[in-house]
Amino acid sequence: MTIDNKQVVALNYILHTDGENNEKVLVEKSDVENPLTFLYGVGMMIPKFEENIKGLTTGDKASFTILPAEGYGERNPEAIVQLPLEMFKESGMPPVGAILPLSDNQGNHFQAVVLEVTAEVVIADLNHPMAGKTLHFEVEIVNHREATPEELAHGHAHGIDGHSGH
């Protein structure tokens, strides 16, 4: 059995992006004891990521690159916004580099990174932190199995063994 839709996949990964002078910069990696576990084919992962692991099986390793257009998109220079200071009366002024959880009028949740705090406004970047970056993945498939009816109904994995503890 190889990886396909309606399966729970557990994998270990290392993610690098391009740094200066063609050096790879480590962004994150999974904890070997707690692999990334997800329901394949329901939109939880970047489509190009899933495309690259489709057909693999337990024990397989793969390396692949995802370009910005296939990942988190290019950086949008118009996504730099000025937030009114009134937004921070209760929580206090955020430091530069802080990640702000925000939502729009339609209830969509997203994050902004604080670039600057002035006496008048907080300037934040609404671009995804990985926007404009080429993603280099190294993955190893730890396990995969058919999703349970409950997982399919909930739209997410309940752990590699099918039990989440809730």
Residues 65 and 135 placed together within one structural domain of the fold: yes
In a domain, 48, yes or no: yes
How far apart CA 136 and CA 154 sit, in angstroms, is: 30
89-103 pLDDT, tens digit each: 888 899 999 999 888
Q: Could you tell me if residue 138 is inside a domain?
A: yes
Per residue in 48-79, pLDDT (tens digit) is 999 999 999 999 999 999 999 999 999 999 99
Q: Is residue 49 part of a domain?
A: yes
Find the CATH number of the domain harbouring 115: 2.40.10.330
Nearest to 137 by CA among 40, 36, 8: 36
Identity (one letter) of the amino acid at 104?
Answer: D
Write the pLDDT tens digit of every residue in 19-37: 888 889 999 999 989 999 9
Q: Domain range holding 83? A: 77-125
165 is a domain residue = no
Q: What is the dihedral of CA 30, 31, 33, 34, to 10 degrees?
A: -60
Is 22 inside any structural domain? yes
**pTM reported for the whole predicted model:** 0.81
